[in-house]
């Protein structure tokens, strides 16, 4: 549905050229929710604005729904952009117009007859749950309601694609959830292709099918959300994920005392990640039964990504070195990811 091929974007600024996008190629399938995550300044907004040619790439080609956007002139682009709705972090509503007028605006721009506008706006306001707010002004709405107006306006001309640039970044966590749910519902109902730009892994995890991590103008890593989430390859990806999954040591341990080899009083800490079926297998009870080691569970949580269970455990193990080695072999033979955190000493009141 969307094809970006070797996109490069250089801005001319007073301080010299800014190489915002270096060489990015991406393919986004029809009806999927595709997330693009990156730090501030990574080039996310630039990239998404290259999709509808609000920014013209310095190099590369953009193809949307079979049409080569980069080969179009301004009037062809205006027509092609009807196919692409967009919503923004700060909503960009007309403050002197009512909710109704805001949603009607893109329809007026393409000379839609008045009665058709009325029917369409009514339908859209119902879709986003604002049927009773038609005559209100943006200043009378909450942030979440403003973004609902933004979504209704973006959908006015029946686009096939919805671009969301930090659409929930100005909202509190609960409102964020409701807007993400609305985007998800719209994607399912209208089979829209959705591109979600964010700096929050939670947003990616909540609604995206695929994700591309962009860093300093290039793609660091991309793939299915489940794969990237459970098996990140690049440090920047790990950093985004670590915000959600605590990679800290459990309470009672001091990172300064972490060592690669055992020392008196230390135990071996392991982080186990279970995905899908293996989340249900009794690995820990077998570990305890079959090997002569002491095993304690220090931290655990269970989550899911697109309905696939995904659990993390931090366990502490102590015992003789050969037994620990055998236990590790057993864990590594199971369908789970085993990360050795290291040897560390427990500090709690009973030992002081």
Ligand X SMILES: Nc1ncnc2c1ncn2[C@@H]1O[C@H](COP(=O)(O)OP(=O)(O)OP(=O)(O)O)[C@@H](O)[C@H]1O
Per partner kind, with CB cut-offs from 5 to 8 A, the member of ligand X, Mg ion, none near residue 150 is none
Strands 59-64 and 2-13: antiparallel
Hey, what are 159's tokens? 């686009």
Name which of residues 75 to 94 contact ligand X (CB under 6 A). none
Per partner kind, with CB cut-offs from 5 to 8 A, the member of ligand X, Mg ion, none near residue 199 is ligand X
Which residue of 1, 24, 35, 45 would you call a contact of ligand X, by CB under 6 A?
A: 45
Site size for ligand X, by CB under 6 A?
A: 13
Residue 43 within binding range of ligand X, rule CB under 6 A? yes
Residue 144 or 217 with smaller CB distance to ligand X = 217
Residue pair 238/232 in contact by the 8 Å Cβ criterion = yes
Residue 43 or 232 with smaller CB distance to Mg ion = 43
Rounded-to-5 percentages of helix, strand, coil across the chain = 40, 30, 30
Per partner kind, with CB cut-offs from 5 to 8 A, the member of ligand X, Mg ion, none near residue 144 is none
Q: Is 316 buried (19+), middle (13-18) or exposed (0-12) by CB count in 10 A?
A: buried
Q: For ligand X, which stretch binds (CB under 6 A), given 35-43, 73-81, 175-183, 279-287?
A: 35-43
Neighbours of 128 (CB within 10 A): 23
Hey, what are 26's tokens? 């991406």
Residue 176 within binding range of ligand X, rule CB under 6 A? no
Per partner kind, with CB cut-offs from 5 to 8 A, the member of Mg ion, ligand X, none near residue 20 is ligand X
Name which of residues 179 to 238 contact ligand X (CB under 6 A). 199
Which residue of 16, 40, 189, 261 would you call a contact of ligand X, by CB under 6 A?
A: 40
Per partner kind, with CB cut-offs from 5 to 8 A, the member of ligand X, Mg ion, none near residue 184 is none
Q: Is 71 buried (19+), middle (13-18) or exposed (0-12) by CB count in 10 A?
A: exposed
Q: For ligand X, which stretch binds (CB under 6 A), given 34-42, 66-74, 107-115, 263-271?
A: 34-42
Which residue of 41, 243, 325, 335 would you call a contact of ligand X, by CB under 6 A?
A: 41
Query: Least separation, in Å, of the C-beta of 40 and Mg ion?
Result: 7
Please work out, in degrees rounded to the nearest 5, the angle formed at the alpha carbon of residue 232 by the alpha carbons of 230 and 236: 135
Phi/psi-derived region of residue 166, left when phi > 0, alpha when psi is between -120 and 50, beta in every other case: left
Residue 45 or 102 with smaller CB distance to Mg ion = 45
Residue 316 within binding range of ligand X, rule CB under 6 A? no
Q: For ligand X, which stretch binds (CB under 6 A), given 38-46, 78-86, 143-151, 174-182?
A: 38-46
Residue 20 within binding range of ligand X, rule CB under 6 A? yes
What sign does the dihedral 241-245-249-252 (CA atoms) show? positive
The closest of 24, 27, 26, 33 to 1, measured between CA atoms, is 27
Hey, what are 33's tokens? 């929710």
Neighbours of 185 (CB within 10 A): 12
Which residue of 38, 144, 316, 342 would you call a contact of ligand X, by CB under 6 A?
A: 38
Q: List residues binding ligand X (CB under 6 A).
A: 11, 13, 18, 20, 38, 40-46, 199
């Amino acid at each position: 549905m969307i094809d970006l091929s070797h996109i490069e974007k250089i801005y001319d600024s007073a301080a010299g050229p800014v190489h915002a996008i270096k060489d990015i190629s991406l393919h986004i399938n029809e009806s999927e929710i595709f997330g693009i995550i990156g730090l501030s300044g990574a080039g996310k907004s630039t990239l998404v604005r290259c999709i509808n040619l609000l920014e013209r790439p310095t190099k590369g080609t953009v193809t949307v729904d079979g049409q080569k956007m980069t080969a179009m002139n301004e009037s062809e682009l205006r027509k092609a952009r009807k196919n692409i709705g967009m919503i923004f972090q700060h909503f960009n509503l007309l403050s002197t117009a009512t909710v109704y007028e805001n949603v009607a605006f893109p329809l007026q721009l393409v000379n839609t007859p008045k009665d058709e506008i009325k029917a369409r706006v009514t339908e859209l306001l119902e879709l986003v749950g604002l049927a009773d707010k038609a005559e209100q002004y943006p200043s009378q709405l909450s942030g979440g309601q403003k973004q609902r107006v933004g979504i209704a306006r973006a959908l006015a001309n029946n686009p096939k694609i919805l671009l969301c640039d930090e659409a929930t970044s100005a909202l509190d966590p609960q409102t964020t959830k409701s807007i993400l749910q609305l985007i998800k519902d719209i994607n399912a109902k209208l089979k829209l292709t959705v591109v979600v730009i964010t700096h929050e892994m939670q947003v990616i995890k909540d609604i995206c099918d695929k994700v591309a991590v962009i860093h300093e103008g290039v793609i660091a890593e991309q793939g299915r959300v489940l794969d990237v989430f459970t098996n990140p390859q690049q440090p920047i990806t790990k950093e985004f994920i670590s915000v959600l999954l605590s990679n800290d040591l459990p309470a009672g341990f001091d990172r300064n005392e972490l060592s690669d080899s055992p020392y008196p009083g230390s135990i071996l800490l392991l982080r186990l990640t279970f995905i899908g079926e293996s989340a249900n297998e009794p690995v820990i009870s077998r570990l305890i039964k079959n090997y002569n080691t002491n095993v304690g569970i220090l931290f655990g949580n269970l989550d899911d990504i697109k309905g696939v269970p995904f659990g993390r455990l931090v366990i502490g193990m102590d015992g003789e070195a050969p037994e620990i080695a055998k236990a590790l072999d057993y864990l590594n033979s199971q369908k789970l990811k085993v990360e050795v955190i290291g040897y560390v000493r427990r500090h709690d009141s009973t030992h002081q």
